Amino acid sequence: MSGTDRPPGNVVAVKRRSPIIPLILASAALIAGCATISDNDLAARVDGAEYTRDELVAELRELGATDEQLINADIARGQVSGWITERVSEASDPTLVADAYANGVLKSGSVCLEAVGVPTRAEAEAVIDELESGASFTDIFAPFNVNDQLAQTNGRIGCLTITQLPLGVNDPLADSITALNANAPYATAIISNAASDGDLYVVSRFIPYRELGPNDTPIVAEALGADTLGLDIYVDPQIGTYDNTTATVIPLI
């Protein structure tokens, strides 16, 4: 997400659970030939919802897994992670999700935003002044924006999960995004030499939960850890264990 290599308008949209595609199948595999899975042959459980070993293997077969690929637990972890993500989203209380989302990406695991790129600090401050005075982002975007990539989406970056942000590498845009929350809805990043005549000032706006669309709210819900939602998650130890921080199944160590 640096100014020259990954301008803000190129932020890749988050993907919710997708079936294991051939590319992933080629790099890992499953447990079909392993010993009996414990807990009544369950691969996973989220509260009352159960995912059996037979269902897991059948889904992977449908997706093209070969006998050779049904050997180790790597691919099972990916598929089970996706199944758990869907169950967590279905079980999410919208009020709880909205409250958690308001705290920002570092606490909720996701953030939805829009941004405008301007060439000077003064214009960045003017954008924030306009927004704080009640102007809509739509109204201020075209008069202020000078960034071509952001112009392609009218400034909407959309919803990102924390795993999509390059944190800890001094990326100014990513670092500014982590500061966004319902109580601090605007942040400015200075991206060196990203404008035609110098630095680009990117003003990001935190999109409130009430403004999110039906394609956004599942991303927000799925990014929340099961512990935040009070859900009981079981994963067969032969496959791994559920990690709340990454919301994925990881190997048991």
Contact 72, 30 (CB under 8 A): yes
**What confidence score (pLDDT) does residue 21 get?**
35
Residues 85 and 104 in one domain: no
Say yes or no: 104 and 57 in one domain: no
Q: In the chain, how many domains are there?
A: 2
DSSP 109: S
Reading the block at residue 249, the tokens are 């199944």
3-state SS, residue 1:
coil
- Region of 116 please: left (phi>0), alpha (psi -120 to 50) or beta: beta
- Asked if 180 and 204 sit in the same domain, the reply is yes
Token pair 């392993």 is found at 34
| Local structure of 82: helix, strand or coil | helix
Pairwise CA distance, residues 61 & 2, whole Å: 41
**144, 154 Cβ separation under 8 angstroms:** no
On whether both 88 and 106 belong to a single domain, the answer is no
Task: Tell me whether residue 183 is in a domain.
Answer: yes
Instruction: Assess whether 86 and 104 both reside in one domain.
Output: no
Same domain, 75 and 126: no
Statement to judge: residues 105 and 199 lie in one domain: yes
Q: What is the 3-state secondary structure (H, E, C) of 174-209?
A: HHHHCCCECCECEEEEEEEEEECCEEEEEEEEECCH
Nearest-angstrom CA–CA distance, 233 and 227:
9
Do 74 and 149 fall into the same domain?
Answer: no
Give helix then strand counts, H and E, for the chain: 12, 9
Asked if residue 77 and residue 34 are part of one domain, the reply reads yes
Domain contains 218: no
What CATH number is attached to the domain comprising 189? Answer: 3.10.50.40
The pLDDT profile of the chain, 253 residues, written as one tens digit per residue, is 444 444 333 333 333 344 333 333 333 333 333 433 444 589 999 988 999 999 998 999 998 888 777 766 788 899 999 999 888 878 778 888 999 999 999 999 999 999 999 999 999 999 999 999 999 999 999 999 999 999 999 999 999 999 899 999 999 999 999 999 999 999 999 999 888 889 999 999 999 999 999 999 989 988 887 777 778 999 999 899 998 877 889 998 7
Give a yes or no: residue 219 inside a domain.
no
Position 4 in a domain:
no
At residue 32, the pLDDT reads 37
Cα separation, 20 vs 42, in Å, equals 20
Contact 40, 225 (CB under 8 A): no
Q: Tell me, yes or no, whether 196 and 234 share the same domain.
A: no
Asked if residue 5 is part of any domain, the answer here is no
Radius of gyration of the chain (CA): 21
Q: What's the domain range around 75?
A: 22-92+224-250
Q: Same domain for 62 and 119? A: no
Residues 111 and 175 in one domain: yes
Beta bridge partners of 170: none
> In this structure, is residue 168 part of a structural domain?
yes
Q: Is residue 141 part of a domain?
A: yes
User: What contacts 183, CB < 8 A, 6 or more positions away?
Assistant: 102
pLDDT value for 40: 57
Does 66 fall in a domain? yes
